[in-house]
Amino acid sequence: MEDNRDKSAEQSENIEQQFFNTGDADQVQRIAELEGQLAQAKKEAADSWNKYVNVRADWDNFRKRQERMVTDRVLYQKKAVFNKLLEVLDNVERALIYEDTMDKTQLQHTLRMLQWQMNEVLRGEGLNAVPTVGETFNPYVHEAVEAVEDSDQPDGVILEELRKGYTLGEEILRPARVKVSVGNK
């Protein structure tokens, strides 16, 4: 194997000597220029690769930082909502402690206060009840579960709310379940 290397090295030297012995200085200069251009191209390729790797790493870091910021923001908002709900829960627990000492009127008053407090928390977070009774039926915000013949009301008017519906901002969170008038047949 070493003999093969020696022979290969000798052949390279022989080729170089033959080439240089031709005396063609232009070819030697052209080879030198091409080797210089090749070295420059290799350097530029390495620089471009390093720039690509750096930009890619920066992009990955940016993406991860954005994901962390979104996660942190959601967690912060959840904490704020839960703290408000815990206030309501604390009041429910207090009411349960004293329920034996309250008469029916006091208990009803306490439940209405808790309902009001819960509605205020939800309204503060952008949750609003869908208007129902007396309104015209809208299939985008109402879910009709029963059609009732009613001579007093025109066709398509909501007569009764069976389950409240809610919007969160402009979006429907849950449609209201309602009974709708079909007019007088």
Which of 102, 125, 148 corresponds to the end of one domain?
125
Q: What is the pLDDT of residue 54?
A: 95
Does residue 133 share a domain with residue 49? no
Read off the pLDDT of residues 157-181 as tens digits, 9 standing for 90 and up. Answer: 888 899 989 888 888 989 999 999 8
| 64, pLDDT greater than 90 | yes
Beta strands in the chain (DSSP E): 127-129, 142-148, 158-163, 166-168, 171-174, 176-181
Both 147 and 92 in one domain: the answer is no
Q: Looking at the structure, do residues 135 and 67 belong to the same domain, yes or no?
A: no
| pLDDT of 32 over the 80 cut | yes
Q: What average pLDDT does this structure show over 93-121? A: 85
pLDDT, one tens digit per residue, over 137-161 is 888 899 899 888 866 778 888 888 9
Last residue within a domain, chosen from 101, 125, 149: 125
| Structure-model confidence comparison of residues 22 and 97, the more confident one | 97
The answer to whether residue 15 sits within a structural domain is: no
Q: What is the tally of structural domains in the chain? A: 2
Q: Are residues 93 and 64 in the same domain?
A: yes
Q: Quick one: 114 and 164 in the same domain?
A: no
For the cut 90, the answer to whether the pLDDT of residue 45 exceeds it is yes
| CATH code (residue 166) | 2.30.22.10
Residue 3 covered by a domain: no
Tokens describing residue 110:
């306490």
The answer to whether residue 184 scores a pLDDT higher than 90 is no
Range of the domain at 154: 127-185
Verdict on whether the full-model pTM lies above 0.75: no
What tokens appear for 67 in the block? 């994901």
* pLDDT average, residue stretch 81-91: 85
Which one-letter DSSP state was computed for residue 183? Answer: -
